[in-house]
Amino acid sequence: MKRLCIATICILLPLFLHADPAATLDGIAGIPFGSNVDQVKAAMDSRGAVLDANESTNSHLEYKGGTFNNDSVAYWHFYFSDGKMYKASVSFLPGSLQHLPFYDRTVKTISDKYGPPFQQTKIDLSSGPLFNLIQSGKADLETDWHILAPSSHSIVCRIFDRLNGSVMIRVTYQDDVVAQQLTDKETHDF
């Protein structure tokens, strides 16, 4: 019996040691953190998204349309510090009865690529008190990932807002080091 256990461990251990690690998070949609405005514009043009010049500034670009993970996008937001992109989000407006399955599928896709979330609220996607509150627009749902290699980055997937009675799902990718520096600077300025 002891030999059987040792043999099993010897066979299975290499499988665990050579398992594919989770992907590194270095940006969004093939656009790396640190990209400049022109690089982001070129990448978004290739995705079929349209720049909303009225809503954009030197430190923030807003786009409408295009696709992400084969899904139609409502809005894209890119945020810059010192001319370099440090945060980006992509927003979806799935059909009124599709937002929870869409959210669940999005969380699974991100988890499959980057590993399990740091924080996640589990709900029954068919019924229950939390389900009813989310369906009625009275509660939000959020899942967070924190990826520490090669740097400190995070992803937040959230059913967060109601736009003209519709539920919006936003996925935000962020370089946490730059975001914290900006927060510290804002706090220090007061």
Each residue's pLDDT tens digit, 33-58: 999 999 999 999 998 899 999 999 99
pLDDT at 45: 93
pLDDT 10s digits, 92-103: 988 665 777 888
pLDDT at 4: 33
Q: What is the pTM of this model?
A: 0.79
CB 173 within 8 A of CB 89: yes
Q: Which is nearest to 107 in space by CA: 174, 157, 159? A: 157
CA distance 124 to 157: 17
pLDDT at 23: 73
pLDDT at 126: 63
Give yes or no for residue 159 having a pLDDT over 80.
no
Q: Which is nearest to 60 in space by CA: 37, 43, 34, 35? A: 37
Confidence of residue 120 (pLDDT cuts 50, 70, 90): confident
pLDDT at 5: 36
